[in-house]
Structure 1
Amino acid sequence: MTVNPNQDTTQAPAGDFTPQQIEALFMNAARDGEADLLTSFLEAGMSPDLRAEKGYTPLILASYNGHVEAVATLLKHGANPDLQDDKGATALAGVAFKGFLPIAHVLLEAGAGVDVANGVGRTPLMFAVMFGRDDMARFLLKAGANPTRRDGEGLSALDLAQRQGNTVLAAAMQDMAAS
């Protein structure tokens, strides 16, 4: 598409899309898990680390919505697994909250930081504990998550498990912290 410098680029000529519309279509493809469409956008030059409203990246959207293939596609094309949204959440934090273990595996294999905290100091492990995702919490612990790291309120994942009466998970965290 050739752009005339005097042309209003917020309005697309018939048959063309504005850059904003193209970005929206790309982000929707990530949100919907359309890996083939993502590949087309990425091969055409879209940034895998594009930021949308609230700082969401395609990887955060694909991860949070449970799309393993789309996540793998974005990572293969260079998406940064540790980019944070406007509240400081990473893709791993979203999947820890949701309990999507297969995506957590893919993110960690791609180098995602296991203890990247959000704006209030909460880590993916804390989210897993807070939302009863015990399998995710155990997985994150095995991946090296720190059960005694404290958030902005001074609480650790271990504290959260104890407060919730999750004695089995709290004992596993104490064992990890002691070793």
Structure 2
Amino acid sequence: MATSLGGLSPDDSARVADLAVDLARNGSTDELLEFLDHGLPVNLADTQGNTLLMLAAYHGHAETVVALVDRGADVDRRNDRDQTPVAGALFKGEKQVVRALVTAGADLDAGTPTARQAAEMFGTQSLLET
């Protein structure tokens, strides 16, 4: 992560970014929101382009997903493999996360594979029904 955060050194910025990524991956919503409240970019991404939202979605943390969306996270931001958060949630079968992302306006036709294609590939089409 080459992101420089505020007045932090590159090493400290990398440590803060790594910690934030872990918080998103683990669904530690309150702690992650504290980082955002102190200026951490809501669309911060890891070295593979996975945003905080992508990581929370992929790991099934609906509360964290909703909180990040409420803070302005880009629901359609793709990672370096052209995957979207909603496609990742469909792959993992995360119903609440899919519902939260669809409600937030996630584009079901973005990315590779698209969310619709992912749902078909993994037999999770029912998660797209509201």
Q: How far is 1:117 from its partner? A: 2.5
Residues 10 and 106 (structure 1), Cα distance of their counterparts in 2 relative to 1, 3 Å cut: closer
Structure 1 stretches lacking a partner, 5+ long: 4-8, 12-17, 143-179
Which of 104, 109, 113 aligns to 1:110? It is 104
| Residue number in structure 2 paired with 1:126 | 117
C-alpha separation between the residues in 2 aligned to 1:81 and 1:68?
A: 13
Is 1:33 the equivalent of 2:27? yes
Counterpart mapping for 1:29-108 below 5 A: 29-108=23-102
Q: How far is 1:90 from its partner? A: 0.6
Q: Which has the bigger relative contact order, CA under 8 A and spacing at least 6?
A: 2
Contact 2:76/2:106, CA 8 A, preserved across alignment: yes
C-alpha separation between the residues in 1 aligned to 2:97 and 2:10?
A: 36
**TM-score normalised by L of structure 2:** 0.88
Which amino acid letter does the alignment assign opposite residue 109 of structure 1?
A: T
C-alpha separation between the residues in 1 aligned to 2:122 and 2:110?
A: 18
Contact 1:38/1:73, CA 8 A, preserved across alignment: no
Residues 126 and 28 (structure 1), Cα distance of their counterparts in 2 relative to 1, 3 Å cut: same
C-alpha separation between the residues in 1 aligned to 2:10 and 2:45?
A: 19
Q: Highest Rg: 1 or 2?
A: 1
Structure 2 stretches lacking a partner, 5+ long: 1-5
Q: How far is 1:2 from its partner? A: 6.7
Q: How far is 1:126 from its partner? A: 1.2
Moved over 3 A (4+): none
Contact 1:117/1:124, CA 8 A, preserved across alignment: yes
Q: How far is 1:54 from its partner? A: 0.8
Residues 80 and 22 (structure 1), Cα distance of their counterparts in 2 relative to 1, 3 Å cut: same
C-alpha separation between the residues in 2 aligned to 1:129 and 1:55?
A: 25
| Residue number in structure 2 paired with 1:173 | none
